[in-house]
Amino acid sequence: MSTDIIRSVRDLIRAHGKPEKEVYFDSENSGLIFPEALEEMIRRYRESGYGHPSITHKIGWESYEALFETTSKMADFIGGEMEEIVYTHSGTESNNLAILGSAKANKTDKKKIIVSSIEHLSVILPAEELRKGGYTVIKLPVDNEGLIDPDVLAREVDKDTFLVSISSVNHEIGAMQNMKALVNVVKDKGQEIIFHTDAADTLGKIPFNVEKLGIDLATFSSHKVYGPKGVGALYIRKGLEVERILYGQLSTQKLWPGTENVPAISGFGKAIEIIGANFNDYKSKMERMRNMLIDGILSNVDHTLLNGPRGDRRAPDNVNISFLYCEGEAITVELSMEGIYVASGSACTSRTLEPSHVMLAIGRKYEEAHGSVLMKVTPMHEEEDIKYVIDNVPSAIERIRQISPIKGVE
């Protein structure tokens, strides 16, 4: 880390001050946590769960028990078995293990991988890395709402196909795929073809059952279900061969070396428990606030575009809007001054200032992609938060457009 940057950041924080009201909508980058999940994590650090889960003494046994309890909750929630769950430290690590670990275990001549053109970069980049080993990577096109046509997928799957990876819910525009239809297309062509889905934005948002869908590999992330950061998980269907991609001292898991962060994993388990107990209420609440936010902004701000579908094909928490004649980074700063915290475009591409590959894949022009803002509502938000954002966004956008060098505003 640069000392010059940290001095600048500290100056920015002092100059910014603390707004009277704050609304955090940047759960794509780093999420809010359920208070109960935080309390569970702290309890595990203080009382039981701070030890090494594979060490043979009381403190170790308590950690192992805590790990067992969370794994049991997760297995029940996704319709899998405890032996089918591997913990990592993020969704990115889980996606890498799914793609690279499967390829490493591949003993066949099949070397074709199919991913959608709107996948998270932690899926696309490992797949592209495998080209060095002779793999072919096909990126499936999507329509202007980010949805995949099963017939298009069917035309690409052939006798050389080894693995297909399609996210059930897109992290950036909230497009929800017809997963059962897509899995059926692949499995009809060959039961041995591996189907992986990045379900980080699916878990806790819509019903998801690995057994009913016929999924082979599924990625999850704790912070996406309002648990602590630094915990991910990968579901691996029993019998599927996946090899390690990291090496070191093993603990309770064969595929991911190192000591499990049991307190954080327990917080993940508590978040799943809370989501499971309130699933329908939370889903309805987020859908109501999502629609309120979309309609409120689109009707009060000119020159705006909704990115992704509406209604039942959109994730309950996702709002992604392009503000024309604005730069996304300028919007994040301007809204921050009002206590509204959002993401500019994709969480994974905004730091490079490159237009989001997801936006380009759905047909947005560069200038439309650059002005996109991603907001995610959570069960912890209330309608007064949505109203506050709707009241403040129009004036913020107007201020930016008045000084923007980008032409086009009448």
- Looking at the annotation, which residues are catalytic? 348
Q: What gap in Å lies between CA 123 and CA 135, rounded to an integer?
A: 14
87: its two tokens? 């913990």
Q: Residue 32: CB partners within 8 Å, gap ≥ 6?
A: 24, 226, 378, 380
Sign of torsion over alpha carbons 134, 139, 140, 146: positive
What is the C-alpha to C-alpha distance for residues 84 and 86, in angstroms, rounded to an integer?
A: 7
CA distance 92 to 103: 17
Q: Is residue 123 within 8 Å of residue 198, measured between CB atoms? A: yes
Collapse the DSSP code of 312 into the 3-class scheme (helix H, G, I; strand E, B; otherwise coil) and give the result.
helix
Question: Is the sign of the CA dihedral 60, 61, 66, 68 positive or negative?
Answer: positive
Closest residue by Cα to residue 333 from 282, 373, 277: 373
Residue 300 Cα to chain centre, angstroms:
29
For residues 253 and 261, the answer to whether their CB atoms sit within 8 Å is: no
CB atoms within 10 A of CB 21: 13
Contact in structure between 67 and 297 (CB atoms under 8 Å)? no
Task: Give me the helices (H) in 237-379, please.
Answer: 262-277, 279-300, 328-337, 357-361, 366-370
Q: Using CA atoms, how far apart are residues 86 and 233, in angstroms rounded to an integer? A: 5
115 to 141, 147, 182, 299: CA distances (angstroms): 9, 13, 12, 36
Rounded-to-integer distance, Cα 153 and Cα 161, Å:
11
